Amino acid sequence: MRSQLPLFPEQASTLAGQVDALYFFLIGVSVFFSLLIAGLVIYFAVKYRRRSETEAPPEPAAPAVTLEIVWSVIPLAISMIIFAWSASVFFKINRPPDDALEVYVVAQQWMWKLQHMEGQREINELHIPLGRAVRLKMTSEDVIHSFYVPAFRVKQDVLPGRYTQMWFHPTKPGKYHLFCAEYCGTKHSGMIGWVYVMAPQDYEAWLSGGTGEGTLAARGDKLFQDLACTNCHKADGSGRGPSLEGIYGKTVELEGGQKAVVNDDYLRESILSPQAKIAKGYQPVMPTFQGLVSEEQLLQLIEYVKSLQTQKVGQ
């Protein structure tokens, strides 16, 4: 029935039903009180209408304490229900499961560029397997965009100079609209695409038809060599820059006594603005790579540094 009456997009993720349930509850509460108030306005207008030209209004009655309490406590209870319910949905939307499949997204006027860990790259299309949570890590080359898939009920701003993330767990195979939901220039309305949710075996087949360029980490590795990062960042720590082996996720000491956690934002900053945070015991000699590496390449480099981590742990 819903497909004939397209008031609502299809529900195609585990979050969709929860978002809709909350939304319908809010609509229900609003409709109930709108009707109640409008009905009472009309009823009282008739019941307490002025009956003659000479009729004077009665003296105001003393405030009814019980009534005051009732009409304060009931709305308070309703708003607390809305608060607790929304908060629980909000936390679910913002906490991706640990085993989620990761895909990187770079927005640019006016297209979506997506990179899979295995190396596949897509433009304005995202292929994902059914039955698995997917986490998108997103950034922008230029202005603010917003990644929006109505069928999954998820929307997240994509910002330049920062990583944002979103996740969803598709529940139905199919083809779903992807939109940019933040006005980003002339062709904003054309910044659209499709998310393809495929049966796992179809997805495997799709993956194996790859580009042959290697995984994201492998491409990062190559870039690391090409940009001559290896001259200073030697694995044994004897170079002019710190060794990057196993560094991801660690807390490092900085010159000046502060500490920083090595995460995506730290690595991005260290590549683009190397002087911003200097690791303790090292000289500020690294040149900036601003303008030399694209956002997509930054993600490859980050993925490479992460891969050094997993090799180190040996799992």
188 binds ligand CUA (CB under 6 A): yes
Alpha carbons 184 and 222: distance in angstroms, whole number? 33
Instruction: Check whether the bond before 110 is cis (ω within 30° of 0).
Output: yes
13, 171 contact by CB (below 8 A): yes
Q: Which of these segments, 77-85, 180-188, 213-221, 257-265, binds ligand CUA (CB under 6 A)?
A: 180-188
Q: Which one, 159 or 218, has the nearer CB to ligand CUA?
A: 159
Look at residues 129, 136, 128, 171 and name the one whose alpha carbon lies nearest to residue 155. 136
Of these, 182, 221, 295, 303, which contacts ligand CUA (CB under 6 A)?
Answer: 182
Q: Which one, 115 or 171, has the nearer CB to ligand CUA?
A: 115
Alpha carbons 107 and 124: distance in angstroms, whole number? 10
Shortest distance in whole angstroms from residue 194 CB to ligand CUA: 16
180 binds ligand CUA (CB under 6 A): yes
Q: Which of these segments, 81-89, 119-127, 175-183, 244-252, binds ligand CUA (CB under 6 A)?
A: 175-183
Q: Which one, 107 or 247, has the nearer CB to ligand CUA?
A: 107
Shortest distance in whole angstroms from residue 308 CB to ligand CUA: 34
113 binds ligand CUA (CB under 6 A): no
Alpha carbons 247 and 204: distance in angstroms, whole number? 32
Of these, 151, 154, 184, 286, which contacts ligand CUA (CB under 6 A)?
Answer: 184
Shortest distance in whole angstroms from residue 8 CB to ligand CUA: 23
Alpha carbons 92 and 166: distance in angstroms, whole number? 11
Q: Which of these segments, 8-16, 29-37, 92-100, 183-191, binds ligand CUA (CB under 6 A)?
A: 183-191
136 binds ligand CUA (CB under 6 A): no
- Could you tell me the maximum CA-CA distance found in the chain, to the nearest angstrom? 101
User: In the numeric block, which tokens belong to residue 156?
Assistant: 């997240």
- Alpha-carbon separation of residue 137 from 143, 155, 203, 249 (angstroms): 16, 13, 20, 16
Of these, 113, 145, 268, 306, which contacts ligand CUA (CB under 6 A)?
Answer: 145
295 binds ligand CUA (CB under 6 A): no
- Alpha-carbon separation of residue 93 from 2, 123, 251 (angstroms): 24, 25, 28
CA 164 from chain centre, in angstroms, equals 5
Residues that bind ligand CUA (CB under 6 A): 107, 110, 145, 180, 182-184, 188, 191
